[in-house]
Amino acid sequence: MPLNSQNNAGSEFVHEPAFLVLGKLRRAHGVKGEIALEVHTRMLELLDPECVVYVGEEHQPHTIENTRWKQDLLLLKIIGIDDRASVSELTNELVYVKADELPSLTDDEFYFHDLLGLDVVFTNGEPIGVLEEILETGANDVFLVRDEDGKEVLIPCVDDFIIDIDMKKGKIFVAPFEWYGGDR
């Protein structure tokens, strides 16, 4: 992958972030240093006690002491922060994990961030565009692909459409579909 000195994600490579968002800190809870976290990950094991997370744009490391749920928010207690005033300073900061600290996957599994920037082509090789974003809709994920003219193409991430993902070739192969205006 090409080097990118302008990458705001903290990595030297295009589309390869050094840090990934786990959630956003909200407000202090109680007087003993707990703070509510709006969770943005399905990988809750990254927020277990003794895990190191990185807070804010400076990615300051903090170790989680304890967690507990309060409705749809996860209350975090961070080691060394023991009062409301201190933890309140973290309000509205993002909580990150280092991308290289994510659990390993099997050969046929991918993290979403690994797919961003891949070329999306029909099975016959005709280009559609580049995967720019993955939208989580609830029913199924949707790939937002941008073609060379800047036009957005939305492709449902289901087996009927996504035929293969070849990381070595850097391509996602898609079955032809009726509503696309290309030549196929």
Tell me which fold the domain 19-101 belongs to.
Answer: Elongation Factor Tu (Ef-tu); domain 3 (2.40.30)
Each residue's pLDDT tens digit, 114-159: 898 999 999 999 999 999 998 888 788 999 999 999 999 999 999 9
Domain residue limits, the chain: 19-101, 112-174
Q: In what order do the strands lie in the sheet containing 171-174? A: 152-156, 141-146, 127-136, 119-122, 171-174, 162-166
Question: 19-101 and 112-174 share one CATH topology?
Answer: no
Q: Which residues contact 31 (CB under 8 A, 6 or more apart)?
A: 83, 84
State the architecture of 112-174 in CATH terms. Roll (2.30)
First to last CA, the chain: 28
Burial class (CB in 10 A: 0-12, 13-18, 19+), 85: exposed
pLDDT, one tens digit per residue, over 61-87 is 999 999 999 999 999 999 999 999 999
